[in-house]
Amino acid sequence: MGLLTFFLDLVVFVGIFGILALSLNLEFGFTGLANFGKVAFFLLGAYTYALLSQIGIPFYLCLGLGALVSALFGLLISLPALRLRTDYLAIVILAFGEILRYVVRAENIGGWRGMVHIPPVFTWTGSLLTYRLENVGLVFVCLLVFFAIAQLLANSPYGRVIRAIREDEVAAEALGKNRAKYKAQILMLGSAMAGVAGGLYAQYQECVTPGMFIPMVTFTVWIMVIVGGPANNWGVLLGAALVMLFDRGANIAKDYLTLPVDPHNLQYILFGVLIILVLFYRPGGLLKESQVKTKASEIARYARDTDNNKRS
Amino acid sequence: MEVNWAQVLFNSAITGSIYLLGAVGLSVTYRLSGFPNFAHAEFITLGAFISYFVAEELGVGLPGACLAAFMVAGIVGFLCYRGIFQPLSKRGASIIHLMVASIALGFVLRHVINAVWTDSPYYFTTVTFPSYHIGAVTTTSLYLWLVFSALALSVGMHLVLTRTEVGKAIRATSSNPDLALASGINTERVIGITWFVGAGLAAVAGVVRGVGTLVNPMIGWEIILPIFAVVILGGIGNYYGAIAAAFIIGLAENVGVVALMAVGLSAEYRIAIGFLILIITLIARPQGLAMLFRRA
């Protein structure tokens, strides 16, 4: 029983981080935007949920408003940097995430202690198993919705435009695509997804503290996307599962192993080394970029196959 | 509330000097290697810890500790470039991949430092400085030395960049790498030198920050945002712009804190001031102050 509830807890985390990985995949994998401040939008969603749910607003509204607030900030913060080079956007968003953490620490919303007793979505019925199962259900419904959106986007004409912007901004612009508009839309969508993930996280943990939203969170999501395979929605979900498993495994292992190095530090060092190795030897990730699936491409493949059959 | 403006001005010079030391290397390597090195913060941290180790645990004085910090961080910076960033860009890594690699490297360096020492703060005890009162300003000789060194560095670097062979090679590589290579300049060597010197200077900034306050693994990351603001405001790779920007942001932060106190906001918002300047720069003048110093 203990093992099962432990596993379900892991599954909830995979779901929440899976949503984050999907959102970063839209931004980085498909559009080529370096969002180094994912945690900022995660934080916005979580704090919005925490503040609104405490005054008795129903949870779906809290999640929705969290997504809205995150999306608005995603748009605002990207405005000065979207027309400039990728690296400016990276610096601005990274800075935004850090500032936001200072703001929630300084403001009268719990300060550095954060907020506790956030009302969860599901009332406690006495059984940990039921409670975790309900949360798995909620998180995976959200994950499924976002996965469907991400897949539909990736295989639509819109998806082809954002891939084109990633490959060559100027060429896309020359074909009449307003790159700043597309980038702003993707950042808003990605931030909204991160906001929902933040709300789910806040209600599951039943507390929010500034310490939960350190830059390491952003970096963990980056590892998921890069290891799993950028521009492949299945890949980043695989990446999310692998990284969460590794994280949990390391947490268990440190109770049983005596290492000369503090396991907390060792884990960060291993994460860092892992990502550098992946960038060196497998920059495309575990799964390759997914091909665009449209009616036209299916017909073309069908025609090619029958053609080959005829010849052989 | 009575504000001692002379003290505020002097504090601005201190802040500006630290930012200048921290930003020069980042700005030049950003330009020459084509990506912002987020691990630059850890060179600052490394400098603070090395100087603590040399000055407090080995008992060598602060000048020796400073030199040791410069050398160790310089070598680490050089090795980072040669071992990671140069091979990565040779393999055709995009700027995003290089940035991710630099963040990853930053985590590795910070947590190696954290594992070697611990994250409880260290205080310098054997190295102390007498305080002085000059007019209305109270300071210690450490900060007098710092401001003096920053000014000397500014002039010295100017002479190096304009009068020496290496300096001219750096400027040539910065303005047109291909042409520099075609003129027989070993651009790889030039970039390696700037990584060495840049990381070394960042370490010196870390030494001053560590001696003045305390030493912990976050000491570099805490000031990386204003340092990025200095780099962008000064214009990427622009040495004279960086000097001006460092003191502008130093001044803005110290005056800003007085203003924050006056309106009753937390001084924790100090970090947001550099960010605000960064945003305004990107909207109004994304090339930074670069064009004002065209002679460079």
Which tens digit of pLDDT belongs to each residue from A167-222? Answer: 888 888 888 888 889 999 999 999 999 999 999 999 998 888 888 898 889 999 99
Domain residue spans in chain A?
A: 2-223
The predicted-structure confidence for A276-292, as pLDDT tens digits, reads as follows: 998 898 888 788 777 77
Contact call for residues A38 and A217 (beta carbons, < 8 A): yes
Complex ipTM: 0.87
**Phi/psi of residue A7, nearest 5 degrees:** -65, -40
Which residues of chain A does B286 touch, with a Cβ-Cβ cutoff of 8 Å? 84, 88
| pLDDT confidence of residue B69 | 93
pLDDT value of position B74? 95
> Does residue B295 have a pLDDT over 70?
no
What pLDDT sits at residue A148? 95
Residues of chain B contacting A, Cβ within 8 Å: 35-36, 38, 84, 87-88, 91, 93, 95-97, 99-101, 103-108, 110-112, 114-115, 225, 228, 232, 265-266, 268-269, 271-272, 275, 278-279, 282-283, 286
Rama region for B149: left / alpha / beta (φ>0; ψ in -120 to 50; rest): alpha
Counting beta carbons within 10 angstroms of the beta carbon of residue A226, is it exposed (0 to 12), middle (13 to 18) or buried (19 or more)?
buried
Across the interface, whether the CB atoms of B115 and A261 are under 8 A apart is answered yes
Residue B291 to residues A6, B37, B239, Cα–Cα distance (Å) = 60, 24, 12
Q: What is the structure's pLDDT at B292? A: 66
Best probe of the B interface among A84, A274, A275, A281, by most B CBs < 10 A, is A275
Cβ contacts of B26 on chain A, cutoff 8 Å: none
The two structure tokens encoding residue B285: 């003048």
- pLDDT (mean) for B122-151: 82
Residue of A nearest to B280 (CA): A80
Low-confidence ranges of chain A (pLDDT < 50): none
Domain ranges of chain B: 5-121+128-291
Q: Do A84 and B93 touch (CB under 8 A)?
A: no
- Closest-CA distance, A301 to chain B, in angstroms, reads 31
Which helix (H) or strand (E) segment is B111 a member of?
A: helix B95-116
- pLDDT for res B296: 44
The domain defined by B5-121+128-291 folds into ABC transporter involved in vitamin B12 uptake, BtuC (1.10.3470)
Q: Among A293-297, B22-26, B170-174, B260-264, which is the least confidently predicted range? A: A293-297
Amino acid found at A196: V
Side-chain-side CA neighbours of B191 within 13 Å: the count stands at 23
Q: What's the rounded Cα separation, in Å, for the pair A282 and A271?
A: 15
Distance CA A231, CA A24 (A): 10
A32 interaction partners in chain B (CB closer than 8 Å):
96
Residues in chain A within 8 Å Cβ distance of B99: 34, 36, 87, 90
Alpha carbon distances (Å) from B236 to A87, B14, B239: 11, 23, 9
Helices (H), chain A: 2-24, 38-54, 59-78, 86-106, 128-154, 157-167, 169-174, 179-205, 215-228, 233-256, 263-281, 295-311
- Suggest the residue from B84, B85, B91, B107 to mutate for an interface test with chain A (most A CBs closer than 10 A): B107
Instruction: Report CB contact under 8 Å: A90, B99.
Output: yes
CB A62 within 8 A of CB A45: no
Subunit contact A265:B115, Cβ cutoff 8 A: yes
pLDDT of residue B293: 60
Average pLDDT of B62-73?
Answer: 91
- The pTM score is 0.88
Instruction: Determine the average pLDDT of the residues in B172-200.
Output: 90
Exposed e or buried b for every residue in A201-224, given b needs 16+ CB within 10 A? bbbbbebbbbebbebebbbbbbbb
**Is the Cβ–Cβ distance between B296 and B248 less than 8 Å?**
no
B131 vs B250, which has greater pLDDT?
Answer: B250
Residue of A nearest to B96 (CA): A34
User: Which amino acid, one-letter code, is at A201?
Assistant: Y
